[in-house]
A and B are shown apart, each in its own frame.
Chain A
Amino acid sequence: MLMPTEGEIPAMSKTPDRSWLLESATFSRPVIREIQRAAREGIYDIRGFGAKRAVPTFDDLLFLGASMSRYPLEGYREKCETSVTLGTRFARKPITISTPITIAGMSFGALSAQAKEALGRGASEVGTSTTTGDGGMTAEERGHSTKLVYQYLPSRYGMNPDDLRKADAIEVVVGQGAKPGGGGMLLGQKISDRVAEMRNLPKGIDQRSACRHPDWTGPDDLEIKVQELREITDWQVPIYIKVGATRTFFDVQLAVKAGADVVVVDGMQGGTAATQDVFIEHVGIPTLPATRIAVDALQDMGMHREVQLIVSGGIRSGADVAKALALGADAVSIGTAALIAMGDNSPEHEQGYNALGTSAGYYDDYQDGKDPSGISTQDPELGKRLDPALAGRRVANYLRVLTLETQTLARAAGKTNVRNLEPEDMVALTIEAAAMAKIPLAGTDWIPGSRL
């Protein structure tokens, strides 16, 4: 930017002083804008991304490093194990991932073929898994992912036994953190010929994904369903059950009872490709309490570590990973952060975002199919903007950084395995986080809500 010349300075001082204007906390400018948009269009706001409101998170916890009573491990020298084996309960072939961070289920349809390929390349490079999504498995993603989890969703779009047998694990999706109790929607403008064909539906129509499975209704049915999937796949691969975080204690126990090898709990911050804003912001509980409750539920049954726990929803850094593990999770999974690693919301696409009336850092219209980064689109021209090799490399780099950060924190706490981190290694910064994570408030031995 050019410095103002002397002559321009008086002009600037002419701008009226508005510093006394007071914006309503209730009717803020975004609220006013949304009311007027709703009044104009007569339809609720559907968008992608996750919850934007502030909720208690892993940021509200801190690690106690080693000092006098515990000794740390030497960075780069002393080994700190990161690999995790998932599906040890029933599967003949459990999956071992070399880092406790997996790529969450995101559908082809929501994401471009290039983006799916990049996720597969990145994850495979560091030895972890990717997950299909609503819409089925593509040959490309099978090809680019050495470990692929195949989602079994209510819509059953593209579901077929051949792909089931090609999967390294099966994830029965009961719900998602962004919309527990809600189905999906792929708006007509994102339905290319290929997506339409994969889903057996006409091109250009809105594709609704049911919110309930068509052939089972409760946990007792689900137990039989899980056995059916095991029978079809000859008991080879692990079966995960994914739930959005709501009544997490009961959901986790029922998932275990239904025969899950792995339970996936997705907190309310979890990303989505297209959901009503009101749903994203107002349903479900945050990942922080969900993680603690899920671990309590497993421990209560004596199944902690026997059934593995994966948590997701708003994981961004190695600190988030380490804290989730310290609370007792076996692994985490990432969606939004992986898209960001590939270039979603990057300032390099600012012009494109501006043309859509938004800006880098605010873009959330994954449902729209016009993504300038080429990630959440089915437009072949836009898709070409994403180089799968380069984006895959970025995903791999990002996963490595998360892993190194997690190890850094684990070593500082004196752990030779990242999963040896424990709740006792942490304190809480806020009363809310202390209550939700059942970790004492820093400087006290107080856990709000627990009996004295």
Chain B
Amino acid sequence: MKVEPDPDSAREPIIEFRKAGYRLPNGQSLLEDVSVAVGRGETLALLGRSGAGKTTALKLINRMLDPSDGEILVEGKSTLRWDAIALRRHIGYVIQEIGLFPHFTIEQNVSLIPRLEQWPAERIRARVKELLSLVGLDPDTFSRRYPHELSGGQRQRVGIARALAVDPPILLMDEPFGALDPLTTGELLKEFQQLQRRLRKTIVMVTHDVGESLLLATRIALLDGGKLAGIFSAREFLSAQEPVAAAYVANFRMYEEAERANEPH
């Protein structure tokens, strides 16, 4: 069921953190000495508690932030040597709060970057239809609506469609399935898994959910207090000795135990 890591991934990192750190202007360190490489077609989950530095790490990749120490390479080139605008258009980004434009219709939201890139109108229209269908929204129903006329889950789908608009090879997602009821999250997760298999993007996704990481990620990078506590495959993670990882797993197992305790004898 899972997306297998590309065998070449170790040789061809698309995103690479090299001893990267980020400090606030006042000197407070939010991220320290992070080194991790993400291969082509891989999905890396950034797992960690609230405030662990997940969003900060994500923002270093598309140059929303510049590293204070070390460097981040995207396709072999330091982010500092990329033009920030070009880099961001090369990378789809779903922010934690989604941030749809309230004054644009769904169609306008999704087609913003294609319009800025001056695609012909016909191509844009076709692309919007394709994208909305891709994320499971009926284009005829939703194109003309405004974001406030959608449910939270539908908005999240639009956020993903918008990030995919110009078919970027890299996708960054900050808790794209958070803040929804569990059934809707599950549905979205399953659909996204299929999407992932079809599109074969290189993905870095932030989450604090173990199940989500196991379901979607090829590897899990565990962040704790701004430091990398470890990088694990799914199998490694479930049997990890590292205390934070073990705590996550124990917490995750709690549900299974509850299930077993309630099985009929």
The reply to whether chain A is a binding partner of chain B is no
Using a CB–CB cutoff of 8 Å, the interface residues on chain A facing chain B are: none
